[in-house]
Structure 1
Amino acid sequence: FDKCACIKRCSAYYSQSSSGSSGEKSQQSGWSGRNAWKLGFITLSCSGLFGFGFALATWGPPKKDDNGIEIEDKFSRMPIIWGYICRAWSSLLDFNQSIKDPVSEKLLPDPVQPPYYQPPYTLVMEMTDVLVHPDWKFRTGWRFKKRPALELFLQQLSPHYEVVVFTNESAMTGGPVLAQMDPQGQFIHFRLFREATRYKEGRHIKDLSCLNRDLSRVVLVDWDSTAAQLHPRNSLIIKRWDGDESDKELIELAAFLRMIAMGSVNEVRLVLDTNGNSMILLPFFREEHGKLSGNSSPNENMKPKKSPIQTVLPPNIFHFLGRAKI
């Protein structure tokens, strides 16, 4: 009898402990396992409601003047809740657009007045693959290689052009490179980075209308025609430099731009309208330079064929070609 009583007590004890553990498991399974999504859904819902309420409280109320009186806008006559929602949505759209637009409508200060010297033309240039090329090596990592004749190019053009480097690189990347390129700031007058571009359809576009300069005297030199799509008449698209040490395009480009400056061209777009492509303009420039240098035969000089570029340039502009050194 004692054995039977002991067995019954033990079985009752284990049954109670097993029932208690099963109850705890059932309570835990309510927020774990397959039911864990409930907790996540509640958390996300609360976060969304909090964010929606914060947006309405921040951007929903109408603006007030200095006296604390509400300024009437296009949402003022709507129901209060709907007006708050529309006003907050409009503010979010304006904020998104402000990120895509340049940081300022006037990226450059006003031109200086006499007695200070203001170069008559403005030269806007891309940095990457035009002036320098990013190069990676195992020992040094990423470094920027200078294009051949870069110093000569800047020295020859800085008296005639206000040189502006307008790059798609960020200020953190491009700033140190330009500081090494022109540490004293003698040749590069202004530096504009990605924050000054206009973001459109996933591309950073250079809007020359924000430069605060006369576009009839602005030349944009770039390898990417998409970045210059807003002002194709001001653009001179050159070959993208891939790091070739035998490249001489900067020398030819410097002579061509000096020709424009020395010829006192009033409308550079008429020159670039012929075809804003260095593959057309620079070979023509070399041909004219060769004629004036005496490299062509007398019969060819007696009956020269007029190029479309000659029809838009002043007649005296080609006198500079005889003195240009390539």
Structure 2
Amino acid sequence: MMKKIVALDLDHTLVYARSGYFAQRNHYDFMIRGGCFKSWYVQKRPHVDRLLTELAKNYKIIVFTAATKDYADAILDKLDVNNVIDVRLYRDSCTRMGRALVKDLAKLGQELKNVILVDDNPVSYKLQPENAFPVEAFTGDLSDKQLLEVIDFCDKATTCKDMREAIWKHRNELKIVID
């Protein structure tokens, strides 16, 4: 049986990256070098290591980001120390809709009933809102618990036949509305 897929956004979902002098004075977990000698100070979202470990047991993990390949790879190489991320998709895999970059899950080549997208940006899941597991944007709050909710949901959803139904039930329980 093929594993279900959890597609994860990178920026503001798994990590928070800042550049500049003031960024380095705040808490950060690691630093990467970007283009033009720019340094990015990256803070991992609380529980991200646990999320990746737990998801890897039952899901195929895809990171689907609107970021560029060089930037995303530099972060993911430091974040994915146990090599549990199966696929990395970047800006060039996104679909342009006007000025927006949308993550078209149909491009994954899998039945959409087997896929969820965990993302902080509603524009990202505009084409398949029923597959979205929205999270609040992470901007450095060390008390953040959003990824624990994702872990809990995914633990419960491992046996469901259609991830979209599980998401719908979860939204109804929490009274979450997606436009």
> Normalising by the residue count of structure 2, what TM-score does the alignment of the two structures yield?
0.82
Distance in 2, Cα, partners of 1:199 & 1:156: 32
Q: Please list the CA deviations of residues 186-234 of structure 1 after superposition, one character each: whole Å capped at 9, or x if unmatched.
A: x111100001001111011111111011111101111111110100111
AA aligned opposite 2:129: P
- Are the counterparts in 2 of residues 237 and 277 from structure 1 also a CA contact under 8 Å? no
- Are the counterparts in 2 of residues 223 and 239 from structure 1 also a CA contact under 8 Å? yes
Question: Which of 124, 135, 155 is matched with 2:7 structurally?
Answer: 124
Distance in 1, Cα, partners of 2:48 & 2:8: 12
Q: Between Structure 1 and Structure 2, whose CA radius of gyration is higher?
A: 1
Question: Does residue 273 of the first structure (1) align with residue 162 of the second (2)?
Answer: no
- Are the counterparts in 2 of residues 166 and 192 from structure 1 also a CA contact under 8 Å? yes
Report SS of the residue matched to 2:123.
coil
Report SS of the residue matched to 1:163.
strand
Q: 2:105 is matched with which residue?
A: 208
Question: Does residue 230 of the first structure (1) align with residue 127 of the second (2)?
Answer: yes
Report SS of the residue matched to 2:57.
coil
- 1:226 to 1:256, Cα distance in 2 relative to 1, 3 A: same
- Are the counterparts in 2 of residues 233 and 269 from structure 1 also a CA contact under 8 Å? yes
- Are the counterparts in 2 of residues 166 and 191 from structure 1 also a CA contact under 8 Å? yes
Distance in 1, Cα, partners of 2:137 & 2:125: 14
Q: Please list the CA deviations of residues 151-193 of structure 1 after superposition, one character each: whole Å capped at 9, or x if unmatched.
A: 11111111111010000100011111001111452x1111000
Distance in 1, Cα, partners of 2:69 & 2:105: 19
- 1:121 to 1:248, Cα distance in 2 relative to 1, 3 A: same
User: How many residues are treated as equivalent by the alignment?
Assistant: 161
Structure 2 residues not aligned, in runs of 5+: 25-38
- Are the counterparts in 2 of residues 233 and 276 from structure 1 also a CA contact under 8 Å? no
Question: Does residue 242 of the first structure (1) align with residue 139 of the second (2)?
Answer: yes
Report SS of the residue matched to 1:239.
coil
Report SS of the residue matched to 1:162.
strand
Structure 1 consecutive aligned stretches of length 4 or more whose deviation exceeds 3 Å: 274-281
Whichever structure has more strand as a proportion of its residues is 2
Report SS of the residue matched to 2:71.
helix
Q: 2:63 is matched with which residue?
A: 165
Distance in 2, Cα, partners of 1:196 & 1:259: 30
What do you get for the CA RMSD once the two structures are aligned? 2.1
- 1:257 to 1:172, Cα distance in 2 relative to 1, 3 A: same
Bigger RCO of structures 1 and 2 (CA < 8 A, at least 6 apart) = 2
Distance in 2, Cα, partners of 1:278 & 1:136: 39
User: How far apart are residue 252 of structure 1 and its match?
Assistant: 2.2
Structure 1 residues not aligned, in runs of 5+: 1-117, 282-326
- Are the counterparts in 2 of residues 119 and 160 from structure 1 also a CA contact under 8 Å? no
Whichever structure has more helix as a proportion of its residues is 1
Distance in 1, Cα, partners of 2:175 & 2:78: 33
Report SS of the residue matched to 1:240.
coil
Question: Does residue 143 of the first structure (1) align with residue 38 of the second (2)?
Answer: no
